[in-house]
Chain A
Amino acid sequence: MMRYAFVAPPGWARAPFPPPQIGVYLRAPVAPGPDSASILLFDGVAAAGTLSDHLDAFVSQSTEGLKAKAQKPAAVKSAAYPGLAVQLTTQVTGATGKSRDEVRVYVLFDAGGTRLPVAFVGGPKALAAHQKAFDALLASIAPLDTATLHRAWAE
């Protein structure tokens, strides 16, 4: 179980995953449409293979049954961890039954023996609209400073 700190984009709705899952769901404060987006911060998973292979597994498993067009993975860096990110576009069937384009960004941070998966899911214009917020969130990911928490409780 990996605890890490992050700074959520201001104004975004935030909800925990339903138990027993561990994670945080962030939703952009925009109406459903091409720029609606959500970010998923998952609990850490045990490292399996290289970071690149692990990211490939993350992408292929979560786009199973979908036609996805992925870009080349790019290196990203948070406040504490190096990582890899891959952006892809896919077509999904919405709640109304119509198919729509979707942009997804999968990020996997390497925290030693643990990897931290993060995913951005949004409409075709979502990444352009929320790129800054997503980048700021990724940059803010760091280990949780428990010493500070203890100090806060003591004071």
Chain B
Amino acid sequence: MTTGGWTFMICSIGFVIGLIGFCFSRVLRPPASGDHLHAPERMDRGDD
């Protein structure tokens, strides 16, 4: 296995593990106030 092979393998697997780790850490994090956080573009009008 060449250095290039190791580099591509480690970077690819590292990227995917980093991505899935980030995603699940956010998904499994308990909501701070019992409700979802909202992004700045939130359109909630508070009418439901």
The answer to whether A and B interact is: no
A residues at B contact (CB < 8 Å): none
Residues of B within 8 A of A (CB): none
